[in-house]
Amino acid sequence: METYQFPGSAALFKRAAKVIPCGVYGHFSPAPCVPADAYPFFASRANGSRFWDVDGNEFIDYMCAYGPMILGYGNPVVDEAFRAQMNQADSCSLASPKMVELAEYLVNLIPIANWAFFAKNGADITNFAVMIARAATGRKKIIAIRGGYHGTSPWMQAPGHHGVTEEDQENIVRVPWNDIAALEAVFDRHPGDVAGFISTPYHHPVFADNEMPAEGYWQKVQALLRKHGAVFIIDDVRCGFRLHMGGSCEYFGFKPDLICFCKAIANGYPISALVGVEALKNTAAKVFHTGSYWFSAGPMAAALACLKELKRLDAPEILRAIGRKLNEGMVAIAKSHGYDLKVTGDPGMAYYRITDDPTLMLHQQWCAECTRRGAFFTSHHNWFVSTAHSDKDIQQTWDICDDAFKAIKS
């Protein structure tokens, strides 16, 4: 099978490194792509389930822009709604009627929601949610899951990261995932001072197997938070609308007070949303939080169209079916080569790991070989599929996986 080269990406990166810190920063940084020379750094175009890099190499995309692309790149329904709104107005001096329409739609769609608030990125609304929790309770401490990710604000980062002070972290208490006893212990250690608890609906760290909630975990968490009067925040930025159209809490059977959505809400257009229960609406009104582009109407129109399309298709079921099919085939191919490919997390956004080498080096080598052959796999992060991933894509991916296993064995 032909393998790709990336001279155009490498040349562009050299230019980028002169004028941009890190060349390409954040989660798009080439650093976790191992080895870096097996990966493209810049894309020139995208359509459906695929993108093309600046060297013209074509990839079946299993990162989906790290989650936003849920209906496929260039989805005509969403793009048309965006264009139509842009022809009317986008960033303007007044709020758009689309904002009201989108909020009404979310309130009807999400069972726990009585109101919605819009921003741009996940961190905008995880920050807002934490501020609401503190304002509503008059308390300081926020409990979060160790290894959980809620954006890059200083309070969200791990201790010791550059630009983060000890004071930024002093009111964040980390507990292990699925550990009710540890959660109870925090309330014992900080009586009357826990404002809220923030977590993803299941644990999806990087470089580690993803973990589903234990039987009854969420119900116990909910009861404990209610007992202590702490606000229950679900960070559904990555999972939102991939597990359940009513929010991932509906999939797992519990009721948080606040849910943070971003990524898949508008198929790539920049918008995030916080929805909440009636009891927190007045508090949310009092917390001042805004941004230059938070009222831009184009992404709101895109979100409305995207959510309607996801609901019409029953996208979560489609994504799970695509994921299950892909995963079952890949596991079988791995087994035929003598490898154990472990799949964890939801099938439509699973984390993969070849368990035969606990250092991940073998897994990194395999993901790199797949990427060189046209299936864009990262080795450190969960993947994503979209409703645009077809049977043809899956078959081609299986062929690539098979050839990549041959390559790493040779």
| Least spacing, CB of residue 23 vs other proteins, in Å | 5
Shortest distance, position 304 Cβ to other proteins, whole Å: 37
Contacts of 170 (CB under 8 A, 6+ apart): none
CB closer to other proteins, 25 vs 293:
25
State both tokens at 332: 């079988």
Q: How far is the CB of 25 from other proteins (least distance, A)?
A: 7
- Distance (Å, rounded) from C-alpha 274 to C-alpha 233? 10
Q: Does residue 230 sit in helix, strand or coil?
A: coil
- Give yes or no for residue 176 binding other proteins (CB under 8 A): no
Scanning residues 339 to 368, which ones bind other proteins (CB under 8 A)? 358-361, 364
Shortest Å, Cβ 319 to other proteins = 28
Name the residue type at position 378: T
Residues 34-53 that bind other proteins (CB under 8 A): 34-37, 41
Quote the distance between the C-alpha of residue 267 and its chain's center: 12
Quick one: angle between helices 391-409 and 361-372, nearest 10? Answer: 130
Distance CA 211, CA 323 (A): 17
Out of 2, 87, 162, 181, name the contact with other proteins by CB under 8 A.
Answer: 162
Considering only CA atoms, which of 303, 173, 307, 199 is closest in space to residue 245? 307
The interface with other proteins within residues 181-210 (CB under 8 A) comprises 206-207
The residue type at 67: G
Burial class (CB in 10 A: 0-12, 13-18, 19+), 193: middle
Of the candidates 1, 11, 31, 84, which one interacts with other proteins according to CB under 8 A?
31
Indicate which single residue of 83, 161, 227, 409 sits in contact with other proteins (rule: CB under 8 A): 161
**Closer residue to other proteins (CB): 35 or 56:** 35
Smallest distance, Å, CB 39 to other proteins? Answer: 9
* Residues contacting other proteins: total by CB under 8 A: 33
Please state, in angstroms and rounded to a whole number, the distance separating the CA atoms of residues 79 and 97. Answer: 19
Q: Between 186 and 307, whose beta carbon lies closer to other proteins?
A: 186
Query: Using CB under 8 A as the criterion, which residues of the chain lie in contact with other proteins when the complex forms?
Result: 10, 13-14, 17, 21-25, 29-32, 34-37, 41, 146, 158-162, 166, 206-207, 358-361, 364, 380
